[in-house]
C-alpha cells in the first residue's frame, strides 16, 4: 500500500518534472528560434493558425521557383532578401525544386488538381483583384505559396516579411513559423498614395524609398504630382526651358504665408531618364506611376517660362508662397492646347500608365471672365450659361475634352480632381474626389469611375496628433489622425446603390508638401497613417477594427525601424 502511494507520488512528480522540462525546452527553444506572427497590417483576408506546431526555417534552405519565369525569380529573390534582413536566415533560390523548404507554385489549387480522382473545375476568368490573390500554407513540409500570377508571390513575400520577427542572428539563425493557412486578396483594385514633388523637390533615391514603403503596405498606384505654381519638375525635351527655369523659385515663404521669406532658391526636376528609372523600379514592385500635369490652373511655373500663355501676359514669377493662384493658362489662346499637347505627348512617351492625371482643381476664373481671348472662345464655342455650369467652367470642360481626345489617341484615359465635374464630364474620365465624397458620389451616379480621396480622411499633410505642438509644422486646419484615416469607408453605402458602388475603384491618401521639405518629415507624415489607409484599401469592412490595428502596429514599426524610415510614434 505504502509502496503504491510512493509510486503514485513519484509518477506525479515525474509528470510534473517532465512538464516543467518541456516548458523549459520550449522557453529556451523560443529564445533561440523566434516565432513569426501573422497578425500583420493590412490584415489578410483569412488567417488560420495552429500555434501548437511550427516549421523551422533555417540558413541554407531553398526557395523554389518556376525557372522559365524571370518575374517569379525576382519575387523569390525579394523574399530571400527580406527574410535575411529581418532574421539573418540566409535562403537560396533553387529552380524547380519540389523538395525546397519554400515553394512558389503557380495556380491556386495546384495541389488539389494533381490529386487523383478530384474533380477539376473549369477555370473562371479572374476578377482584377483576384489577379493579386495568394495562398500561403505552412506545414511539416515547409511553406507552399500559391498564386495565379507572379504578383501574388510578391504579395505573399511581403506578408511573410511582415510576419517575421526582427532578430539579429548569426550562423545558427532560425525562425519558427506556426503552421498556418493564409488566403488573401485586396478589396479594391486602386490603392493609391500621392506625393507632391512640386511644392518641394524630393530626390529619386527618396522616391524609391517611398515606393518601397508603399509596396510594403500593398499599395499599387503612385500618384506623382509633378507640376505646380511653385515649381515644374518634369523635363520636356521639346521645351527644355520649362524645367530649367520653371523648376526654380527664388525663395520660399516661411510657415503658412507668414510674409517672411527664407531667401534660399529652391529647385530640382526629374529628367526623363530618371522618370523612366522610377517607373521601372515601381513596376518591379507592382506599382503603377500616374503622372499628374495639373491644368489649366496650378501652372504659374509654366507661365513664368511662357508668359504669353497667360491671360494678362505676365510677368509671372515661379510662386514663392502657398494658396491658390489666380494666374492660370489662358483658355482662349490656341497656343495653350498646343503647349499642353506637347507636354502630354512626352508624358505619354515616358509613363506607360493607362491613366494620366490632368489635375483640374482650383482654377479661379477671375482672369477668364475679363480676358478677351477667353470670352471670344466662349462665344466661338457657342457656350451659354445653362444654369448648372458657368460659361467659364464649360470652357475648362472644353479644354479637358480636347486633352481627353488627345490622350485617348494614345490609349490613355484621363483622371482629374472633382472640380472637373463642374463643367460637365465626358467619356471615360475618372474622378478623384478630394472635397469630401460628394463629387465622387455624383460621378459614380453619372457612371464615371471614382477614386475616393476626401481631405478630412485622406490628407496626410495635416497633423495626426491632437497635440499639434508635438509635431513638425504641417498644413494644420484640422487633424487627420490614424483612427480617422482608418475609419473611412470608400463605398458610401448609405448613398450609393450596389451598381453605383461598382464605380468606386478604391482610395488614396495624399501627401502635399507645402510644409514638408525633407524626406524624414515626409515619412513622418506618411507613417503610420499609411498603415491605417492600407486597411481601408485592402481589408473588408467587417475585418476593420482600430483596436486590433493598434495591437498589430508595434510589429510593423519594428520593420519601419529596420528599413530606416521615420514615423510618428503617437496615434491620436
Query: What's the CA gap between 57 and 175, in Å, rounded?
Result: 5
- Does 73 sit behind a cis peptide bond, omega within 30 degrees of 0 on the bond before it? no
Find the shortest distance in angstroms from Cβ 377 to Zn ion.
8
Query: Which residue's CB comes closest to ligand ACM?
Result: 361
**Number of Cβ atoms within 10 Å of the Cβ of 261:** 13
Residues forming beta bridges with residue 559, ordered by sequence position = none
Residue 253's binding partner among ligand ACM, Zn ion, none (Cβ under 5 to 8 angstroms by kind) is none
Residue 311's binding partner among ligand ACM, Zn ion, none (Cβ under 5 to 8 angstroms by kind) is Zn ion
Nearer to Zn ion, 371 or 399 (CB): 371
How far is C-alpha 162 from the geometric centre of its chain's CA atoms? 17
Site string for Zn ion, 256-295 (x = CB under 5 A): ----------------------------------------
Q: How many CA atoms lie within 13 A of 204 on its CB side?
A: 15
Query: What's the CA gap between 112 and 138, in Å, rounded?
Result: 16
Nearer to ligand ACM, 66 or 362 (CB): 362
Q: How many CA atoms lie within 13 A of 528 on its CB side?
A: 26
How far is C-alpha 432 from the geometric centre of its chain's CA atoms? 15
Angle, alpha carbons 561-564-567 (nearest 5°):
65
Q: How many CA atoms lie within 13 A of 403 on its CB side?
A: 34
Nearer to ligand ACM, 139 or 476 (CB): 476
Where do the H-state alpha helices sit in 391-518? 391-409, 438-445, 455-458, 482-486, 498-501
Nearer to ligand ACM, 286 or 434 (CB): 434
Nearer to Zn ion, 248 or 378 (CB): 378
DSSP per position, 92-110: EEEET-TTSSEEEEESTTH
Residue 157's binding partner among ligand ACM, Zn ion, none (Cβ under 5 to 8 angstroms by kind) is none
Find the shortest distance in angstroms from Cβ 436 to ligand ACM.
12
Stretch binding Zn ion (CB under 5 A), from 120-128, 308-316, 540-548, 553-561:
308-316
Residues forming beta bridges with residue 224, ordered by sequence position = 195, 291
Find the shortest distance in angstroms from Cβ 519 to ligand ACM.
22
Nearer to Zn ion, 195 or 371 (CB): 371
Residues making contact with ligand ACM (CB under 6 A): 361-362, 417, 434
Find the shortest distance in angstroms from Cβ 335 to Zn ion.
11
Nearer to ligand ACM, 71 or 362 (CB): 362
Residue 434's binding partner among Zn ion, ligand ACM, none (Cβ under 5 to 8 angstroms by kind) is ligand ACM
Residue 374's binding partner among Zn ion, ligand ACM, none (Cβ under 5 to 8 angstroms by kind) is Zn ion
Is residue 147 a contact partner of residue 165, using CB atoms and an 8 Å limit? no
Residue 361's binding partner among Zn ion, ligand ACM, none (Cβ under 5 to 8 angstroms by kind) is ligand ACM
Query: What's the CA gap between 545 and 550, in Å, rounded?
Result: 9
| Alpha-carbon separation of residue 556 from 11, 41, 97, 342 (angstroms) | 47, 7, 32, 44
Choose which of 35, 208, 341, 373 interacts with Zn ion (CB under 5 A).
373
The C-alpha cell that represents 223 in the structure block? 500618384
Query: What's the CA gap between 211 and 217, in Å, rounded?
Result: 10
Nearer to ligand ACM, 222 or 417 (CB): 417
Q: Are strands 134-139 and 174-184 parallel, antiparallel or unpaired?
A: antiparallel
Residue 332's binding partner among Zn ion, ligand ACM, none (Cβ under 5 to 8 angstroms by kind) is Zn ion
Find the shortest distance in angstroms from Cβ 361 to ligand ACM.
4
Is residue 359 a contact partner of residue 294, using CB atoms and an 8 Å limit? yes
Nearer to Zn ion, 374 or 451 (CB): 374
Residue 490's binding partner among ligand ACM, Zn ion, none (Cβ under 5 to 8 angstroms by kind) is none
Nearer to ligand ACM, 176 or 292 (CB): 292
Find the shortest distance in angstroms from Cβ 294 to ligand ACM.
8
The C-alpha cell that represents 303 in the structure block? 507661365
Stretch binding Zn ion (CB under 5 A), from 16-24, 331-339, 408-416, 431-439:
331-339
**Number of Cβ atoms within 10 Å of the Cβ of 497:** 10
Choose which of 282, 330, 340, 504 interacts with Zn ion (CB under 5 A).
330
Does residue 332 interact with Zn ion by CB under 5 A? Answer: yes
Interactions with Zn ion, residue window 374-393 (CB under 5 A)? 374
Amino acid at each position: 500500500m505504502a509502496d503504491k502511494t510512493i509510486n503514485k507520488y513519484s509518477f506525479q512528480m515525474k509528470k510534473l518534472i517532465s512538464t516543467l522540462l518541456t516548458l523549459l525546452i520550449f522557453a529556451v527553444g523560443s529564445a533561440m528560434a523566434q516565432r513569426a506572427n501573422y497578425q500583420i497590417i493590412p490584415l489578410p483576408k483569412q488567417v488560420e493558425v495552429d500555434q501548437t506546431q511550427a516549421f523551422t526555417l533555417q540558413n541554407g534552405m531553398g526557395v523554389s521557383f518556376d525557372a522559365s519565369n524571370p518575374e517569379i525569380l525576382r519575387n523569390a529573390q525579394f523574399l530571400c532578401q527580406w527574410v535575411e534582413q529581418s532574421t539573418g536566415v540566409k535562403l537560396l533560390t533553387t529552380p524547380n525544386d519540389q523538395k525546397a523548404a519554400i515553394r512558389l507554385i503557380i495556380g491556386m489549387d495546384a495541389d488539389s488538381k494533381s490529386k487523383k480522382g478530384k474533380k477539376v473545375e473549369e477555370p473562371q476568368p479572374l476578377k482584377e483583384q483576384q489577379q493579386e490573390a495568394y495562398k500561403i500554407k505552412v506545414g511539416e513540409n515547409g511553406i507552399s505559396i500559391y498564386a495565379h500570377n507572379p504578383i501574388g508571390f510578391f504579395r505573399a513575400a511581403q506578408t511573410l516579411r511582415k510576419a517575421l520577427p526582427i532578430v539579429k542572428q548569426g550562423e545558427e539563425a532560425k525562425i519558427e513559423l506556426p503552421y498556418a493557412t493564409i488566403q488573401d486578396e485586396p478589396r479594391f483594385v486602386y490603392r493609391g498614395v500621392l506625393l507632391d514633388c512640386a511644392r518641394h523637390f524630393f530626390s529619386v533615391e527618396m522616391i524609391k524609398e517611398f515606393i518601397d514603403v508603399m509596396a510594403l503596405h500593398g499599395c499599387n498606384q503612385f500618384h506623382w504630382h509633378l507640376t505646380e505654381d511653385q515649381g515644374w519638375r518634369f523635363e520636356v525635351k521639346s521645351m527644355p526651358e520649362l524645367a530649367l527655369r520653371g523648376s526654380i523659385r527664388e525663395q520660399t515663404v516661411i510657415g503658412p504665408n507668414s510674409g517672411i521669406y527664407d531667401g534660399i532658391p529652391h529647385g530640382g526636376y526629374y529628367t526623363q531618364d530618371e522618370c523612366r528609372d522610377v517607373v521601372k523600379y515601381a513596376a518591379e514592385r507592382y506599382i503603377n506611376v500616374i503622372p499628374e500635369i495639373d491644368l489649366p490652373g496650378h501652372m504659374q511655373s509654366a507661365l513664368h517660362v511662357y508668359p504669353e500663355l497667360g491671360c494678362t501676359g505676365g510677368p509671372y514669377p515661379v510662386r514663392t508662397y502657398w494658396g491658390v493662384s489666380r494666374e492660370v493658362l489662358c483658355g482662349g489662346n490656341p497656343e495653350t492646347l498646343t503647349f499642353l499637347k506637347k507636354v502630354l505627348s512626352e508624358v505619354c512617351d515616358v509613363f506607360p500608365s493607362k491613366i494620366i492625371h490632368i489635375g483640374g482643381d482650383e482654377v479661379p476664373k477671375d482672369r477668364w471672365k475679363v480676358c478677351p481671348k477667353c470670352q471670344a472662345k466662349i462665344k466661338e464655342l457657342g457656350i451659354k450659361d445653362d444654369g448648372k455650369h458657368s460659361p467659364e467652367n464649360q470652357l475648362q470642360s472644353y479644354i479637358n475634352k480636347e486633352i481627353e481626345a488627345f490622350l485617348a489617341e494614345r490609349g490613355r484615359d484621363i483622371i482629374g480632381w472633382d472640380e472637373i465635374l463642374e463643367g460637365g464630364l465626358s467619356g471615360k474620365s475618372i474622378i478623384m474626389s478630394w472635397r469630401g465624397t460628394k463629387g465622387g458620389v455624383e460621378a459614380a451616379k453619372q457612371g464615371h469611375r471614382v477614386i475616393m480621396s476626401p481631405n478630412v480622411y485622406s490628407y496626410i499633410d495635416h497633423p495626426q496628433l491632437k497635440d499639434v505642438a508635438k509635431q513638425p509644422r504641417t498644413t494644420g486646419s484640422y487633424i487627420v489622425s490614424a483612427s480617422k484615416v482608418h475609419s473611412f469607408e470608400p463605398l458610401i453605402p448609405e448613398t450609393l446603390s450596389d451598381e453605383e458602388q461598382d464605380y468606386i475603384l478604391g482610395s488614396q491618401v495624399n501627401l502635399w508638401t507645402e510644409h514638408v521639405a525633407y524626406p524624414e518629415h515626409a515619412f513622418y507624415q506618411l507613417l503610420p497613417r499609411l498603415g491605417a489607409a492600407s486597411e481601408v484599401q485592402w481589408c473588408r469592412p467587417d475585418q476593420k477594427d482600430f483596436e486590433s490595428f493598434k495591437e498589430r502596429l508595434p510589429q510593423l514599426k519594428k520593420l519601419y525601424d529596420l528599413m530606416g524610415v521615420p514615423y510618428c510614434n503617437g496615434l491620436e
